[in-house]
Structure 1
Protein backbone atom coordinates (compact mmCIF):
# COMPACT_ATOMS: atom_id res chain seq x y z
CA UNK A 1 0.00 0.00 0.00
CA UNK A 2 2.81 2.40 0.92
CA UNK A 3 4.66 1.65 -2.29
CA UNK A 4 1.51 2.26 -4.33
CA UNK A 5 1.00 5.68 -2.68
CA UNK A 6 4.60 6.64 -3.34
CA UNK A 7 4.22 5.48 -6.91
CA UNK A 8 1.12 7.64 -7.39
CA UNK A 9 2.85 10.68 -5.95
CA UNK A 10 5.93 10.26 -8.16
CA UNK A 11 6.64 13.68 -9.75
CA UNK A 12 7.92 12.05 -12.94
CA UNK A 13 4.66 10.15 -13.33
CA UNK A 14 2.70 13.37 -12.80
CA UNK A 15 4.79 15.24 -15.38
CA UNK A 16 4.37 12.35 -17.81
CA UNK A 17 0.57 12.48 -17.45
CA UNK A 18 0.63 16.25 -17.90
CA UNK A 19 2.63 15.82 -21.08
CA UNK A 20 0.11 13.30 -22.36
CA UNK A 21 -2.66 15.83 -21.74
CA UNK A 22 -0.61 18.77 -23.02
CA UNK A 23 -3.34 19.84 -25.45
CA UNK A 24 -5.80 20.31 -22.58
CA UNK A 25 -3.23 22.22 -20.55
CA UNK A 26 -2.52 24.48 -23.53
CA UNK A 27 -6.23 25.23 -23.80
CA UNK A 28 -6.25 26.05 -20.08
CA UNK A 29 -3.10 28.19 -20.28
CA UNK A 30 -4.75 31.52 -21.34
CA UNK A 31 -7.09 31.36 -18.35
CA UNK A 32 -4.26 30.53 -15.95
CA UNK A 33 -2.12 33.35 -17.36
CA UNK A 34 -5.03 35.78 -17.02
CA UNK A 35 -5.59 34.88 -13.36
CA UNK A 36 -1.89 35.00 -12.56
CA UNK A 37 -1.48 38.48 -14.10
CA UNK A 38 -4.75 40.12 -13.03
CA UNK A 39 -5.63 38.18 -9.84
CA UNK A 40 -2.57 36.60 -8.24
CA UNK A 41 0.16 39.14 -9.03
CA UNK A 42 -1.87 42.16 -7.78
CA UNK A 43 -2.19 40.43 -4.41
CA UNK A 44 1.52 41.08 -3.86
CA UNK A 45 0.89 44.82 -3.84
CA UNK A 46 -1.90 44.52 -1.30
CA UNK A 47 0.87 45.66 1.04
CA UNK A 48 -0.10 49.16 -0.09
CA UNK A 49 -2.86 48.94 2.52
CA UNK A 50 -0.28 49.10 5.33
CA UNK A 51 2.40 51.23 3.67
CA UNK A 52 2.69 54.88 2.72
CA UNK A 53 2.93 54.82 -1.07
CA UNK A 54 5.76 56.65 -2.80
CA UNK A 55 6.19 56.46 -6.55
CA UNK A 56 9.97 56.54 -6.33
CA UNK A 57 10.20 53.79 -3.71
CA UNK A 58 11.25 53.96 -0.06
CA UNK A 59 7.83 52.96 1.19
CA UNK A 60 7.35 53.43 4.92
CA UNK A 61 5.25 51.13 7.11
CA UNK A 62 1.97 52.78 8.14
CA UNK A 63 0.33 49.99 10.13
CA UNK A 64 -3.45 50.34 10.40
CA UNK A 65 -3.40 54.04 9.61
CA UNK A 66 -5.50 53.78 6.44
CA UNK A 67 -8.00 51.35 7.93
CA UNK A 68 -8.60 53.80 10.78
CA UNK A 69 -9.06 56.63 8.24
CA UNK A 70 -11.63 54.56 6.36
CA UNK A 71 -13.73 53.65 9.38
CA UNK A 72 -13.59 57.19 10.74
CA UNK A 73 -14.77 58.66 7.44
CA UNK A 74 -18.42 59.80 7.71
CA UNK A 75 -19.01 58.89 4.05
CA UNK A 76 -17.86 55.28 4.46
CA UNK A 77 -20.91 54.21 6.49
CA UNK A 78 -23.29 55.47 3.78
CA UNK A 79 -21.24 53.84 1.01
CA UNK A 80 -21.17 50.53 2.90
CA UNK A 81 -24.93 50.76 3.46
CA UNK A 82 -25.54 51.38 -0.26
CA UNK A 83 -23.32 48.42 -1.15
CA UNK A 84 -25.13 46.04 1.18
CA UNK A 85 -28.60 47.13 0.04
CA UNK A 86 -27.82 46.89 -3.67
CA UNK A 87 -26.00 43.56 -3.23
CA UNK A 88 -28.94 42.16 -1.25
CA UNK A 89 -31.32 43.16 -4.03
CA UNK A 90 -29.10 41.67 -6.76
CA UNK A 91 -27.78 38.52 -5.09
CA UNK A 92 -30.68 37.57 -2.81
CA UNK A 93 -33.93 39.02 -4.17
CA UNK A 94 -33.07 38.23 -7.81
CA UNK A 95 -31.82 34.72 -7.09
CA UNK A 96 -35.23 32.94 -6.90
CA UNK A 97 -36.27 34.49 -10.23
CA UNK A 98 -33.50 32.61 -12.03
CA UNK A 99 -34.72 29.32 -10.57
CA UNK A 100 -38.36 30.07 -11.42
CA UNK A 101 -37.40 31.04 -14.97
CA UNK A 102 -35.51 27.76 -15.46
CA UNK A 103 -38.55 25.79 -14.25
CA UNK A 104 -40.90 27.81 -16.52
CA UNK A 105 -38.55 27.24 -19.44
CA UNK A 106 -38.70 23.52 -18.84
CA UNK A 107 -42.50 23.63 -18.71
CA UNK A 108 -42.78 25.07 -22.22
CA UNK A 109 -44.10 22.28 -24.42
CA UNK A 110 -43.30 23.83 -27.82
CA UNK A 111 -39.61 23.21 -28.57
CA UNK A 112 -39.22 25.99 -31.16
CA UNK A 113 -40.83 28.55 -28.87
CA UNK A 114 -38.62 27.38 -25.97
CA UNK A 115 -35.49 27.85 -28.09
CA UNK A 116 -36.69 31.31 -29.11
CA UNK A 117 -37.23 32.28 -25.46
CA UNK A 118 -33.78 30.93 -24.57
CA UNK A 119 -32.04 32.94 -27.29
CA UNK A 120 -33.90 36.16 -26.47
CA UNK A 121 -33.24 35.82 -22.74
CA UNK A 122 -29.54 34.99 -23.22
CA UNK A 123 -28.70 37.86 -25.58
CA UNK A 124 -28.65 40.76 -23.04
CA UNK A 125 -25.87 39.01 -21.12
CA UNK A 126 -23.49 39.62 -24.03
CA UNK A 127 -24.14 43.36 -24.08
CA UNK A 128 -21.83 45.70 -22.19
CA UNK A 129 -23.24 47.86 -19.41
CA UNK A 130 -22.55 50.91 -21.57
CA UNK A 131 -25.03 49.62 -24.15
CA UNK A 132 -27.52 48.42 -21.53
CA UNK A 133 -27.42 51.77 -19.71
CA UNK A 134 -28.11 53.54 -23.00
CA UNK A 135 -31.09 51.27 -23.69
CA UNK A 136 -32.59 51.79 -20.25
CA UNK A 137 -31.98 55.53 -20.26
CA UNK A 138 -33.78 55.78 -23.59
CA UNK A 139 -36.61 53.59 -22.29
CA UNK A 140 -36.99 55.67 -19.11
CA UNK A 141 -36.39 59.11 -20.65
CA UNK A 142 -38.91 61.60 -19.15
CA UNK A 143 -39.65 63.34 -22.45
CA UNK A 144 -39.92 60.65 -25.13
CA UNK A 145 -39.11 57.38 -23.36
CA UNK A 146 -41.28 54.32 -24.01
CA UNK A 147 -42.35 54.07 -20.36
CA UNK A 148 -43.64 57.64 -20.24
CA UNK A 149 -45.33 57.24 -23.62
CA UNK A 150 -47.26 54.29 -22.15
CA UNK A 151 -48.10 56.29 -19.01
CA UNK A 152 -49.34 59.14 -21.21
CA UNK A 153 -51.88 56.81 -22.85
CA UNK A 154 -53.39 56.26 -19.40
CA UNK A 155 -53.33 59.96 -18.58
CA UNK A 156 -50.45 59.71 -16.11
CA UNK A 157 -47.79 62.39 -15.92
CA UNK A 158 -44.16 61.79 -16.91
CA UNK A 159 -41.76 60.34 -14.34
CA UNK A 160 -38.00 60.61 -14.27
CA UNK A 161 -36.84 57.41 -12.60
CA UNK A 162 -33.18 57.96 -13.47
CA UNK A 163 -32.99 60.98 -11.15
CA UNK A 164 -35.28 59.59 -8.43
CA UNK A 165 -33.45 58.47 -5.28
CA UNK A 166 -36.36 56.23 -4.38
CA UNK A 167 -36.45 54.49 -7.76
CA UNK A 168 -32.85 54.27 -8.96
CA UNK A 169 -32.01 51.16 -6.93
CA UNK A 170 -35.00 49.39 -8.48
CA UNK A 171 -33.78 50.50 -11.90
CA UNK A 172 -30.50 48.73 -11.08
CA UNK A 173 -32.46 45.69 -9.86
CA UNK A 174 -34.61 45.30 -12.97
CA UNK A 175 -31.82 46.09 -15.42
CA UNK A 176 -29.64 43.46 -13.72
CA UNK A 177 -32.52 40.99 -13.89
CA UNK A 178 -33.11 41.73 -17.59
CA UNK A 179 -29.43 41.20 -18.36
CA UNK A 180 -28.84 38.09 -16.23
CA UNK A 181 -32.15 36.20 -16.26
CA UNK A 182 -31.42 33.89 -19.17
CA UNK A 183 -27.72 33.40 -18.54
CA UNK A 184 -27.86 32.80 -14.79
CA UNK A 185 -30.69 30.31 -15.19
CA UNK A 186 -28.60 28.04 -17.48
CA UNK A 187 -27.11 26.00 -14.65
CA UNK A 188 -30.56 25.37 -13.14
CA UNK A 189 -32.10 24.49 -16.50
CA UNK A 190 -29.21 22.09 -17.15
CA UNK A 191 -29.86 20.40 -13.81
CA UNK A 192 -33.54 20.02 -14.72
CA UNK A 193 -32.94 18.44 -18.14
CA UNK A 194 -30.46 16.08 -16.46
CA UNK A 195 -33.22 14.48 -14.39
CA UNK A 196 -33.88 10.88 -15.40
CA UNK A 197 -37.05 10.46 -17.53
CA UNK A 198 -37.84 7.38 -15.45
CA UNK A 199 -38.70 9.61 -12.50
CA UNK A 200 -41.24 11.51 -14.60
CA UNK A 201 -42.78 8.29 -15.90
CA UNK A 202 -43.05 6.83 -12.39
CA UNK A 203 -44.65 10.04 -11.12
CA UNK A 204 -47.21 10.11 -13.94
CA UNK A 205 -48.08 6.47 -13.33
CA UNK A 206 -48.73 7.35 -9.69
CA UNK A 207 -51.14 10.10 -10.80
CA UNK A 208 -48.92 13.12 -10.13
CA UNK A 209 -49.80 16.40 -11.85
CA UNK A 210 -47.29 19.01 -13.08
CA UNK A 211 -47.19 20.83 -9.76
CA UNK A 212 -46.46 17.57 -7.92
CA UNK A 213 -43.61 16.83 -10.35
CA UNK A 214 -42.13 20.30 -9.85
CA UNK A 215 -42.47 20.07 -6.08
CA UNK A 216 -41.21 16.51 -5.53
CA UNK A 217 -38.85 15.87 -8.47
CA UNK A 218 -37.60 19.08 -10.07
CA UNK A 219 -37.14 21.27 -7.01
CA UNK A 220 -35.20 18.64 -4.96
CA UNK A 221 -32.86 18.21 -7.95
CA UNK A 222 -32.14 21.96 -7.85
CA UNK A 223 -31.17 22.11 -4.17
CA UNK A 224 -27.47 21.35 -4.72
CA UNK A 225 -26.88 23.76 -7.66
CA UNK A 226 -28.93 26.44 -5.87
CA UNK A 227 -26.83 26.05 -2.72
CA UNK A 228 -23.55 26.13 -4.62
CA UNK A 229 -24.46 29.16 -6.74
CA UNK A 230 -25.84 31.09 -3.76
CA UNK A 231 -22.70 30.49 -1.69
CA UNK A 232 -20.46 31.57 -4.57
CA UNK A 233 -22.60 34.68 -5.11
CA UNK A 234 -22.02 35.70 -1.52
CA UNK A 235 -18.33 36.01 -2.36
CA UNK A 236 -19.30 39.01 -4.50
CA UNK A 237 -21.64 40.49 -1.90
CA UNK A 238 -19.32 43.42 -1.24
CA UNK A 239 -19.07 44.06 -4.98
CA UNK A 240 -22.43 45.47 -5.99
CA UNK A 241 -21.39 45.88 -9.64
CA UNK A 242 -19.05 48.72 -10.58
CA UNK A 243 -19.83 48.67 -14.32
CA UNK A 244 -23.57 48.93 -13.80
CA UNK A 245 -23.49 51.61 -11.10
CA UNK A 246 -20.84 53.66 -12.90
CA UNK A 247 -22.97 53.82 -16.07
CA UNK A 248 -26.27 54.49 -14.30
CA UNK A 249 -25.13 57.07 -11.78
CA UNK A 250 -25.65 60.82 -11.96
CA UNK A 251 -25.29 63.65 -9.40
CA UNK A 252 -28.97 63.47 -8.45
CA UNK A 253 -28.82 59.85 -7.24
CA UNK A 254 -25.14 59.29 -6.51
CA UNK A 255 -25.68 59.47 -2.76
CA UNK A 256 -27.89 56.34 -2.76
CA UNK A 257 -25.95 54.19 -5.25
CA UNK A 258 -22.38 55.16 -4.46
CA UNK A 259 -20.81 51.78 -3.58
CA UNK A 260 -17.41 50.53 -2.45
CA UNK A 261 -16.25 49.88 -6.02
CA UNK A 262 -17.06 53.41 -7.18
CA UNK A 263 -15.46 54.75 -3.99
CA UNK A 264 -12.28 52.78 -4.74
CA UNK A 265 -12.28 54.13 -8.31
CA UNK A 266 -12.80 57.70 -7.16
CA UNK A 267 -10.21 57.60 -4.36
CA UNK A 268 -7.64 55.34 -6.00
CA UNK A 269 -7.78 56.27 -9.69
CA UNK A 270 -9.03 59.84 -9.71
CA UNK A 271 -7.38 61.07 -6.49
CA UNK A 272 -4.34 58.73 -6.57
CA UNK A 273 -4.81 57.71 -2.92
CA UNK A 274 -3.69 54.17 -3.63
CA UNK A 275 -3.21 53.05 -0.05
CA UNK A 276 -6.76 53.94 0.98
CA UNK A 277 -8.19 52.29 -2.14
CA UNK A 278 -6.13 49.15 -1.48
CA UNK A 279 -7.28 49.04 2.14
CA UNK A 280 -10.95 49.18 1.05
CA UNK A 281 -10.31 46.42 -1.52
CA UNK A 282 -8.68 44.30 1.16
CA UNK A 283 -11.70 44.75 3.43
CA UNK A 284 -13.95 43.69 0.56
CA UNK A 285 -11.90 40.58 -0.12
CA UNK A 286 -11.69 39.48 3.50
CA UNK A 287 -15.43 39.97 4.10
CA UNK A 288 -16.20 38.05 0.88
CA UNK A 289 -14.06 35.09 1.97
CA UNK A 290 -15.65 35.08 5.43
CA UNK A 291 -19.18 35.14 3.97
CA UNK A 292 -18.43 32.24 1.62
CA UNK A 293 -16.85 30.18 4.40
CA UNK A 294 -19.64 30.81 6.95
CA UNK A 295 -22.35 30.07 4.39
CA UNK A 296 -20.54 26.92 3.31
CA UNK A 297 -20.33 25.68 6.91
CA UNK A 298 -24.00 26.52 7.55
CA UNK A 299 -25.06 24.76 4.34
CA UNK A 300 -23.04 21.64 5.24
CA UNK A 301 -24.76 21.46 8.62
CA UNK A 302 -28.28 22.05 7.27
CA UNK A 303 -28.24 20.19 3.95
CA UNK A 304 -25.01 18.18 3.97
CA UNK A 305 -23.88 19.96 0.78
CA UNK A 306 -21.51 22.87 0.30
CA UNK A 307 -18.99 24.24 -2.17
CA UNK A 308 -16.27 21.75 -1.18
Structure 2
Protein backbone atom coordinates (compact mmCIF):
# COMPACT_ATOMS: atom_id res chain seq x y z
CA UNK A 1 0.00 0.00 0.00
CA UNK A 2 2.82 2.40 0.88
CA UNK A 3 4.60 1.55 -2.37
CA UNK A 4 1.45 2.31 -4.36
CA UNK A 5 1.06 5.69 -2.65
CA UNK A 6 4.67 6.58 -3.35
CA UNK A 7 4.29 5.59 -7.00
CA UNK A 8 1.12 7.66 -7.37
CA UNK A 9 2.83 10.61 -5.69
CA UNK A 10 5.77 10.30 -8.08
CA UNK A 11 3.48 10.12 -11.13
CA UNK A 12 1.57 13.21 -9.98
CA UNK A 13 4.84 15.08 -9.47
CA UNK A 14 6.01 14.12 -12.97
CA UNK A 15 2.65 15.21 -14.43
CA UNK A 16 2.92 18.63 -12.74
CA UNK A 17 6.48 19.10 -14.01
CA UNK A 18 6.14 17.45 -17.40
CA UNK A 19 7.92 20.36 -19.12
CA UNK A 20 11.09 19.66 -17.12
CA UNK A 21 11.03 16.01 -18.14
CA UNK A 22 10.63 17.04 -21.77
CA UNK A 23 13.99 18.78 -21.48
CA UNK A 24 15.46 15.48 -20.27
CA UNK A 25 13.95 13.49 -23.13
CA UNK A 26 16.67 14.23 -25.76
CA UNK A 27 19.41 13.19 -23.30
CA UNK A 28 17.56 10.00 -22.40
CA UNK A 29 17.09 9.13 -26.08
CA UNK A 30 20.77 9.86 -26.74
CA UNK A 31 21.88 7.57 -23.89
CA UNK A 32 19.58 4.77 -25.01
CA UNK A 33 20.77 4.90 -28.63
CA UNK A 34 24.49 5.38 -28.06
CA UNK A 35 25.10 3.85 -24.60
CA UNK A 36 22.58 1.06 -24.02
CA UNK A 37 21.65 -0.35 -27.41
CA UNK A 38 25.33 -1.00 -28.34
CA UNK A 39 25.57 -3.32 -25.31
CA UNK A 40 23.84 -5.86 -27.53
CA UNK A 41 27.07 -6.18 -29.54
CA UNK A 42 29.16 -7.13 -26.48
CA UNK A 43 28.28 -10.78 -27.12
CA UNK A 44 30.81 -10.94 -29.98
CA UNK A 45 33.47 -11.15 -27.25
CA UNK A 46 32.13 -14.67 -26.66
CA UNK A 47 31.89 -15.61 -30.34
CA UNK A 48 34.11 -16.06 -33.37
CA UNK A 49 32.51 -13.10 -35.07
CA UNK A 50 32.25 -13.17 -38.86
CA UNK A 51 30.75 -10.09 -40.54
CA UNK A 52 29.16 -12.31 -43.19
CA UNK A 53 27.35 -14.38 -40.55
CA UNK A 54 26.35 -11.46 -38.35
CA UNK A 55 26.29 -11.42 -34.55
CA UNK A 56 23.59 -14.05 -34.13
CA UNK A 57 24.98 -16.34 -36.82
CA UNK A 58 28.57 -16.38 -35.51
CA UNK A 59 29.81 -19.44 -33.65
CA UNK A 60 29.72 -19.28 -29.83
CA UNK A 61 33.14 -19.99 -28.26
CA UNK A 62 32.61 -18.91 -24.65
CA UNK A 63 35.73 -17.63 -22.87
CA UNK A 64 38.15 -18.58 -25.64
CA UNK A 65 39.22 -15.00 -26.39
CA UNK A 66 39.67 -14.17 -22.70
CA UNK A 67 41.91 -17.22 -22.25
CA UNK A 68 43.88 -16.15 -25.31
CA UNK A 69 44.25 -12.68 -23.82
CA UNK A 70 45.62 -13.93 -20.49
CA UNK A 71 48.07 -16.24 -22.27
CA UNK A 72 49.25 -13.52 -24.65
CA UNK A 73 52.81 -12.27 -24.25
CA UNK A 74 51.51 -8.72 -24.77
CA UNK A 75 48.88 -8.78 -22.03
CA UNK A 76 50.91 -8.02 -18.90
CA UNK A 77 53.20 -5.42 -20.54
CA UNK A 78 50.23 -3.40 -21.84
CA UNK A 79 48.44 -3.67 -18.50
CA UNK A 80 51.62 -2.52 -16.75
CA UNK A 81 52.03 0.45 -19.15
CA UNK A 82 48.37 1.40 -18.73
CA UNK A 83 48.54 1.34 -14.93
CA UNK A 84 51.84 3.28 -14.82
CA UNK A 85 50.52 6.07 -17.05
CA UNK A 86 47.15 6.14 -15.26
CA UNK A 87 48.60 6.30 -11.73
CA UNK A 88 51.23 8.87 -12.78
CA UNK A 89 48.53 10.98 -14.40
CA UNK A 90 46.29 10.68 -11.34
CA UNK A 91 49.05 11.71 -8.92
CA UNK A 92 49.97 14.78 -10.96
CA UNK A 93 46.87 15.78 -12.94
CA UNK A 94 44.32 15.38 -10.15
CA UNK A 95 45.78 17.83 -7.58
CA UNK A 96 46.94 20.34 -10.24
CA UNK A 97 43.54 22.01 -10.87
CA UNK A 98 42.77 21.98 -7.15
CA UNK A 99 46.01 23.80 -6.28
CA UNK A 100 45.53 26.17 -9.20
CA UNK A 101 41.98 27.00 -8.07
CA UNK A 102 43.18 27.76 -4.54
CA UNK A 103 45.85 30.09 -5.95
CA UNK A 104 43.38 31.89 -8.22
CA UNK A 105 40.92 32.27 -5.36
CA UNK A 106 43.49 34.23 -3.36
CA UNK A 107 44.09 36.84 -6.08
CA UNK A 108 42.83 40.28 -5.11
CA UNK A 109 42.88 41.83 -8.59
CA UNK A 110 39.77 40.57 -10.40
CA UNK A 111 41.05 41.87 -13.73
CA UNK A 112 44.34 39.98 -13.44
CA UNK A 113 42.42 36.92 -12.24
CA UNK A 114 40.18 36.94 -15.33
CA UNK A 115 43.20 37.27 -17.62
CA UNK A 116 44.89 34.28 -15.97
CA UNK A 117 41.68 32.25 -16.18
CA UNK A 118 41.26 32.99 -19.88
CA UNK A 119 44.86 32.04 -20.67
CA UNK A 120 44.72 28.79 -18.71
CA UNK A 121 41.25 27.76 -19.96
CA UNK A 122 42.22 28.21 -23.63
CA UNK A 123 44.37 25.04 -24.04
CA UNK A 124 41.35 22.89 -23.19
CA UNK A 125 39.77 23.88 -26.52
CA UNK A 126 42.81 22.86 -28.55
CA UNK A 127 42.49 19.57 -30.41
CA UNK A 128 44.57 16.65 -29.15
CA UNK A 129 46.07 16.38 -32.63
CA UNK A 130 47.20 20.01 -32.44
CA UNK A 131 48.60 19.54 -28.92
CA UNK A 132 50.70 16.57 -30.03
CA UNK A 133 51.84 18.56 -33.07
CA UNK A 134 52.92 21.36 -30.75
CA UNK A 135 54.84 18.86 -28.62
CA UNK A 136 56.64 17.57 -31.69
CA UNK A 137 57.63 21.12 -32.65
CA UNK A 138 58.66 22.29 -29.19
CA UNK A 139 60.63 19.10 -28.44
CA UNK A 140 62.28 18.79 -31.84
CA UNK A 141 66.04 18.13 -31.47
CA UNK A 142 66.88 20.55 -34.30
CA UNK A 143 64.36 23.41 -34.24
CA UNK A 144 62.47 22.88 -30.98
CA UNK A 145 62.21 25.71 -28.48
CA UNK A 146 63.12 23.50 -25.52
CA UNK A 147 66.31 22.25 -27.17
CA UNK A 148 67.20 25.78 -28.21
CA UNK A 149 67.08 26.78 -24.54
CA UNK A 150 69.15 23.73 -23.57
CA UNK A 151 71.79 24.67 -26.16
CA UNK A 152 71.72 28.29 -24.98
CA UNK A 153 72.65 27.10 -21.48
CA UNK A 154 75.47 25.00 -22.93
CA UNK A 155 73.78 21.60 -23.08
CA UNK A 156 73.31 19.13 -25.91
CA UNK A 157 70.01 18.58 -27.77
CA UNK A 158 67.77 15.88 -26.29
CA UNK A 159 65.66 13.54 -28.45
CA UNK A 160 62.71 13.71 -26.07
CA UNK A 161 60.24 11.69 -28.15
CA UNK A 162 62.87 9.00 -28.76
CA UNK A 163 63.48 8.38 -25.05
CA UNK A 164 61.03 5.76 -23.70
CA UNK A 165 61.72 6.80 -20.10
CA UNK A 166 60.40 10.32 -20.82
CA UNK A 167 57.16 9.26 -22.53
CA UNK A 168 54.98 9.17 -19.40
CA UNK A 169 56.33 12.49 -18.13
CA UNK A 170 55.71 14.24 -21.45
CA UNK A 171 52.22 12.74 -21.62
CA UNK A 172 51.25 13.75 -18.08
CA UNK A 173 52.76 17.25 -18.03
CA UNK A 174 51.24 18.17 -21.39
CA UNK A 175 47.90 16.90 -20.08
CA UNK A 176 48.24 19.13 -17.01
CA UNK A 177 48.97 22.12 -19.25
CA UNK A 178 45.90 21.38 -21.36
CA UNK A 179 43.33 20.51 -18.68
CA UNK A 180 44.34 22.09 -15.34
CA UNK A 181 42.81 25.50 -16.07
CA UNK A 182 39.53 24.03 -17.22
CA UNK A 183 39.40 21.55 -14.36
CA UNK A 184 39.82 24.38 -11.87
CA UNK A 185 36.37 25.73 -12.80
CA UNK A 186 34.60 23.15 -10.63
CA UNK A 187 36.78 23.95 -7.62
CA UNK A 188 36.36 27.70 -8.14
CA UNK A 189 32.59 27.18 -8.14
CA UNK A 190 32.85 25.28 -4.86
CA UNK A 191 35.09 27.98 -3.36
CA UNK A 192 32.61 30.68 -4.33
CA UNK A 193 30.02 28.92 -2.17
CA UNK A 194 32.09 29.31 0.99
CA UNK A 195 30.74 32.04 3.22
CA UNK A 196 32.97 35.18 3.28
CA UNK A 197 32.06 35.53 6.94
CA UNK A 198 34.29 32.56 7.74
CA UNK A 199 37.30 34.32 6.23
CA UNK A 200 36.39 37.59 7.93
CA UNK A 201 36.17 35.88 11.33
CA UNK A 202 39.49 34.11 10.70
CA UNK A 203 41.17 37.41 9.76
CA UNK A 204 39.88 39.00 12.96
CA UNK A 205 41.35 36.09 14.91
CA UNK A 206 44.71 36.72 13.24
CA UNK A 207 44.76 33.71 10.90
CA UNK A 208 47.29 33.93 8.07
CA UNK A 209 46.38 33.32 4.42
CA UNK A 210 47.79 29.80 4.52
CA UNK A 211 45.82 29.03 7.69
CA UNK A 212 42.61 30.22 6.05
CA UNK A 213 43.29 28.08 2.99
CA UNK A 214 43.99 25.03 5.14
CA UNK A 215 41.09 25.40 7.60
CA UNK A 216 38.40 27.04 5.42
CA UNK A 217 38.99 26.64 1.68
CA UNK A 218 40.22 23.05 1.58
CA UNK A 219 37.46 21.65 3.86
CA UNK A 220 34.96 23.56 1.71
CA UNK A 221 36.00 21.79 -1.50
CA UNK A 222 36.64 18.32 -0.03
CA UNK A 223 33.17 16.99 -1.05
CA UNK A 224 33.74 18.02 -4.68
CA UNK A 225 37.30 16.69 -4.65
CA UNK A 226 36.13 13.35 -3.28
CA UNK A 227 33.53 12.92 -6.03
CA UNK A 228 36.08 13.76 -8.73
CA UNK A 229 38.63 11.42 -7.12
CA UNK A 230 36.14 8.56 -7.11
CA UNK A 231 35.38 9.14 -10.79
CA UNK A 232 39.09 9.31 -11.61
CA UNK A 233 39.89 6.10 -9.73
CA UNK A 234 36.90 4.42 -11.36
CA UNK A 235 38.55 5.05 -14.72
CA UNK A 236 42.05 4.17 -13.57
CA UNK A 237 42.94 1.87 -16.47
CA UNK A 238 41.01 3.83 -19.06
CA UNK A 239 43.94 5.75 -20.58
CA UNK A 240 42.72 7.76 -23.57
CA UNK A 241 43.51 6.45 -27.03
CA UNK A 242 44.10 9.53 -29.18
CA UNK A 243 47.00 11.20 -27.44
CA UNK A 244 48.90 8.00 -26.68
CA UNK A 245 48.48 6.79 -30.25
CA UNK A 246 49.66 10.08 -31.74
CA UNK A 247 52.71 10.24 -29.46
CA UNK A 248 53.62 6.62 -30.12
CA UNK A 249 56.56 5.60 -32.30
CA UNK A 250 58.59 2.39 -32.75
CA UNK A 251 61.20 3.52 -30.20
CA UNK A 252 58.81 4.25 -27.30
CA UNK A 253 56.26 1.51 -28.16
CA UNK A 254 57.55 -0.65 -25.31
CA UNK A 255 56.23 1.87 -22.74
CA UNK A 256 53.44 3.53 -24.73
CA UNK A 257 51.44 0.49 -25.81
CA UNK A 258 48.30 0.60 -23.65
CA UNK A 259 45.01 -1.28 -23.69
CA UNK A 260 43.18 1.19 -25.92
CA UNK A 261 45.90 1.29 -28.60
CA UNK A 262 46.21 -2.51 -28.46
CA UNK A 263 42.46 -2.89 -29.04
CA UNK A 264 42.70 -0.55 -32.03
CA UNK A 265 45.60 -2.41 -33.62
CA UNK A 266 44.20 -5.89 -33.02
CA UNK A 267 40.54 -5.10 -33.67
CA UNK A 268 40.40 -2.48 -36.41
CA UNK A 269 43.74 -2.93 -38.15
CA UNK A 270 44.00 -6.69 -37.59
CA UNK A 271 40.31 -7.43 -38.13
CA UNK A 272 40.08 -9.59 -34.98
CA UNK A 273 36.85 -8.03 -33.70
CA UNK A 274 35.99 -10.74 -31.17
CA UNK A 275 39.38 -10.62 -29.45
CA UNK A 276 39.45 -6.83 -29.30
CA UNK A 277 35.91 -6.83 -27.90
CA UNK A 278 37.02 -9.23 -25.17
CA UNK A 279 39.92 -6.89 -24.27
CA UNK A 280 37.62 -3.86 -24.20
CA UNK A 281 34.96 -5.68 -22.17
CA UNK A 282 37.52 -6.81 -19.58
CA UNK A 283 38.84 -3.24 -19.34
CA UNK A 284 35.33 -1.85 -18.73
CA UNK A 285 34.51 -4.54 -16.16
CA UNK A 286 37.68 -3.75 -14.18
CA UNK A 287 36.89 -0.02 -14.30
CA UNK A 288 33.33 -0.69 -13.11
CA UNK A 289 34.55 -2.85 -10.20
CA UNK A 290 37.08 -0.17 -9.24
CA UNK A 291 34.34 2.47 -9.25
CA UNK A 292 32.15 0.38 -6.93
CA UNK A 293 35.01 -0.40 -4.55
CA UNK A 294 36.35 3.14 -4.38
CA UNK A 295 32.86 4.55 -3.83
CA UNK A 296 32.23 2.05 -1.01
CA UNK A 297 35.58 2.86 0.62
CA UNK A 298 34.91 6.60 0.37
CA UNK A 299 31.47 6.12 1.89
CA UNK A 300 32.87 4.11 4.80
CA UNK A 301 35.66 6.55 5.67
CA UNK A 302 33.76 9.76 4.98
CA UNK A 303 30.27 11.01 4.22
CA UNK A 304 31.08 11.83 0.60
CA UNK A 305 30.30 9.35 -2.18
CA UNK A 306 28.53 9.08 -5.53
CA UNK A 307 25.64 7.11 -4.05
Whether TM-score is above 0.5 comes out as yes
SS in 1 for 2:164: coil
What is the Cα deviation at residue 53 of structure 1?
Answer: 0.4
What is the Cα deviation at residue 50 of structure 1?
Answer: 0.7
Q: Deviations over 1:254-282 (max 9, x none)?
A: 11111000001001110111111111111
Where do 1:78-227 residues align within 5 Å? 78-227=77-226
**Rounded Cα–Cα distance in structure 2 between residues aligned with 1:20 and 1:185:** 33
Q: Indicate if the aligned counterparts of 1:18 and 1:25 stay in contact, CA closer than 8 A.
A: no
Q: Indicate if the aligned counterparts of 1:161 and 1:167 stay in contact, CA closer than 8 A.
A: yes
What is the Cα deviation at residue 6 of structure 1?
Answer: 4.7
**Rounded Cα–Cα distance in structure 2 between residues aligned with 1:251 and 1:64:** 32
Question: Size of the alignment, in residue pairs?
Answer: 303
Q: Indicate if the aligned counterparts of 2:234 and 2:294 stay in contact, CA closer than 8 A.
A: no
**Alignment match, 2:279:** 280
Structure 2 residues not aligned, in runs of 5+: none
Instruction: Choose the corresponding residue for 1:45, options 41, 53, 68.
Output: 41
**Alignment match, 1:36:** 32
What is the Cα deviation at residue 32 of structure 1?
Answer: 3.3
Task: Tell me: CA distance 1:279–1:196, structure 2 relative to 1, closer, same or farther (3 Å).
Answer: same
SS in 1 for 2:235: coil
Aligned-pair Cα RMSD in Å? 1.6
What is the Cα deviation at residue 24 of structure 1?
Answer: 2.3
**Rounded Cα–Cα distance in structure 1 between residues aligned with 2:7 and 2:240:** 47
**Alignment match, 2:51:** 55
**Rounded Cα–Cα distance in structure 2 between residues aligned with 1:147 and 1:6:** 64
**Rounded Cα–Cα distance in structure 2 between residues aligned with 1:76 and 1:124:** 34
SS in 2 for 1:158: coil
Give the alignment's TM-score, normalised by structure 1. 0.94
Q: Indicate if the aligned counterparts of 2:141 and 2:147 stay in contact, CA closer than 8 A.
A: yes
Where do 1:252-291 residues align within 5 Å? 252-291=251-290
Alignment pair present for 1:233 and 2:232: yes
Give the alignment's TM-score, normalised by structure 2. 0.94
**Alignment match, 1:307:** 306
**Rounded Cα–Cα distance in structure 1 between residues aligned with 2:106 and 2:45:** 52
What is the Cα deviation at residue 15 of structure 1?
Answer: 5.5
SS in 2 for 1:167: helix
What is the Cα deviation at residue 4 of structure 1?
Answer: 4.6
Where do 1:10-25 residues align within 5 Å? 10=11, 13=12, 16-17=15-16, 19-21=18-20, 24-25=23-24
What is the Cα deviation at residue 192 of structure 1?
Answer: 0.9
